[in-house]
């Protein structure tokens, strides 16, 4: 296992490097630049700005300088758009916000999703099954950009219970709606995967044997059926977790949380190269990390898997 982890981490470095280079090339090949605006800058002003940010250097040197800055001092450079901040500032401020609502969304999605899926499977074709399937289908077809305004209208305008947005240091009142809006579609997918996986497991021979031994149903489910049921869910949860904690532009736009999702999308529109790169590397690194975590959990849950 240890050598597996070391091997995977060793592969992660060139993977990230390739990610950086491809992103850099794609970014520069998009038309426009970070300092274009409705009002084009006079050439001498533009020249000053480009010199300040090193954009007057040849392309290869910009990549080398960038990678060197990241590797040697973990410096992702200044933001070209938000001139009062560095990319490190932006990530340091926005990522904890995203991480907080992403984490709680994950907790809600997994706990509600798995419970619904299991309940539906063990009471297949009962009203509970239909209700659980109904909820998960409903949640799946209601995208968060529809969900978010409905929540704001209901809880802010009509009931007046919750603030319509903002972060306010992460108060629970500001967390409720982003968490509901972000978690519902993930919750629906988890419920469906859990249900079908559980149904499959319940029809296997070892479950029949367990039942034949006279074990109570609760024990059969928890002791024998749960672990194999969770395997396909787990492979979904790795990327889902990264998706949730690296920000959703819909959540950030509707609830004005100040999370990095909004910065990421704005940076693409504004050609804010350093912010695009910084967040791409962050998301890339987290994806690699959580895929590794999922693989390790796999081996832990399923003894048949050995690396």
Partner 1 sequence: MTLKSKLMATGAAFLIATGGMVYADGHATHPETGETLASDQTFTYRDLDESPSIDPGVAEDSAGGDIIRDLFEGLYNQDASGALIPGVALSHEVSEDGLIYTFTLRDNAKWSNGEPVTAADFEFGWKRAASPELASPYSWYIELTTVENAAAVIAGEMDPSELGITAINDTTLEIRLTQPLPYFPDMTTHYTLFPVPEATIAEFGDDWVKPGNMVSNGAYVLTEHVPQERLVRERNEMYWDNENTIIDKTVSLIIPDENVALTRFLAGELNRTDVPAGQFPRLAEQYPDDIMSVPNACSYYYTINLTDTTNPALLDGNVRQALSLAVNRDVIVENVLAGGQWPAYTFTHWATAGFETPETPIAAMDQAERDAKAKELMAEAGYGPDNPLSVNLIFNTSESHRSVAIAISQMWKQTLGVETELANQEWQTFLETRGNQDYEIARAGWCADYNEASTFLDLMDTNSGYNDAQYSNAEVDALLAAAKTSDNPQAAYTQVEQIISQDVPIIPIYHYAAAKMLDDAVEGWPYENFQQKWYSKDLYIVAE
Q: At its nearest, how many Å lie between partner 1 and the CB of residue 165?
A: 6
144-203: which residues touch partner 1 (CB under 8 A)? 148-149, 152-153, 156-157, 160, 163-167
Q: At its nearest, how many Å lie between partner 1 and the CB of residue 236?
A: 30
Distance CA 268, CA 284 (A): 16
Distance CA 184, CA 197 (A): 20
Q: At its nearest, how many Å lie between partner 1 and the CB of residue 93?
A: 6
Distance CA 98, CA 115 (A): 25
Residue 49 or 234 having the CB closest to partner 1: 49
Q: At its nearest, how many Å lie between partner 1 and the CB of residue 106?
A: 22
236-255: which residues touch partner 1 (CB under 8 A)? 252-254
> Binding partner 1 by CB under 8 A: which of 88, 140, 266, 291?
266
71 CB neighbour count, 10 Å cutoff:
11
Kindly indicate which of the ranges 43-51, 118-126, 217-225, 229-237 contains the residues binding partner 1, using the contact rule CB under 8 A. Answer: 43-51
Closest CA to 244 of 59, 47, 108: 108
Closest CA to 74 of 242, 278, 260, 288: 278
Q: At its nearest, how many Å lie between partner 1 and the CB of residue 304?
A: 47
Residue 94 or 117 having the CB closest to partner 1: 94
Q: At its nearest, how many Å lie between partner 1 and the CB of residue 256?
A: 5
Evaluate whether 262 touches 202 at the Cβ level (below 8 Å).
Answer: no
> Binding partner 1 by CB under 8 A: which of 16, 27, 49, 108?
49
# residues near partner 1 by CB under 8 A? 54
Q: Is 69 in the site for partner 1 (CB under 8 A)?
A: no
Mention every residue, 6+ apart, whose C-beta is less than 8 A from residue 80: 34, 35, 53, 270, 271, 272, 273, 274, 275
Distance CA 285, CA 287 (A): 5
Return phi, psi of residue 56, to 5°: -90, 0
Q: At its nearest, how many Å lie between partner 1 and the CB of residue 186?
A: 22
Distance CA 60, CA 303 (A): 48
Closest CA to 275 of 89, 97, 96: 89
Return phi, psi of residue 38, to 5°: -50, -30
Q: Is 96 in the site for partner 1 (CB under 8 A)?
A: no
Residue 106 or 167 having the CB closest to partner 1: 167
Q: Is 262 in the site for partner 1 (CB under 8 A)?
A: yes
Residues at the contact surface with partner 1, assessed by CB under 8 A: 30-33, 35-45, 48-49, 51-53, 78, 81-85, 90, 93-94, 148-149, 152-153, 156-157, 160, 163-167, 252-254, 256-259, 262-263, 266, 269-271
């Amino acid at each position: 296992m240890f050598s597996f982890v070391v091997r995977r981490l060793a592969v992660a470095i060139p993977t990230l490097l390739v990610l950086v280079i491809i992103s850099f090339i794609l970014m520069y090949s998009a038309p426009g630049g970070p300092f274009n605006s409705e009002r084009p800058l006079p050439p001498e002003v533009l020249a000053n700005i480009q010199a300040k940010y090193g954009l007057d250097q040849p392309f290869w040197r910009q990549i080398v300088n960038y990678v060197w800055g990241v590797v040697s001092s973990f410096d992702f450079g200044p933001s070209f758009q938000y001139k009062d901040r560095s990319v490190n500032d932006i990530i340091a401020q926005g990522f904890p916000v995203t991480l907080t609502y992403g984490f709680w969304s994950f907790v809600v999605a997994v706990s509600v999703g798995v419970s619904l899926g299991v309940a539906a499977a063990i009471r297949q074709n009962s009203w509970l099954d239909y209700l659980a399937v109904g909820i998960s289908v409903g949640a799946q077809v209601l995208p968060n950009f529809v969900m978010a305004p409905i929540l704001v209208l209901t809880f802010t305008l009509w009931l007046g219970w919750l603030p319509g947005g903002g972060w306010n240091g992460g108060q629970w009142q500001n967390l409720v709606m982003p968490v509901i809006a972000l978690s519902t579609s993930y919750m629906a997918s988890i419920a469906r995967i859990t249900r079908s996986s559980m149904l499959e497991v319940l029809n296997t021979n070892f479950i029949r044997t367990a039942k034949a031994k006279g074990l109570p149903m609760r024990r059969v489910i928890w002791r024998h059926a749960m672990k194999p049921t969770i395997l396909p869910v787990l492979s979904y949860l790795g990327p889902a977790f990264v998706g949730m904690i690296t920000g959703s532009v819909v959540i950030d736009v509707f609830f004005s949380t100040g999370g990095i999702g909004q910065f990421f999308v704005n940076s693409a529109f504004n050609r804010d190269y350093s912010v695009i790169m910084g967040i791409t590397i962050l998301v890339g690194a987290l994806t690699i990390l959580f895929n590794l975590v999922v693989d390790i959990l796999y081996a832990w849950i399923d003894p048949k898997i050995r690396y």
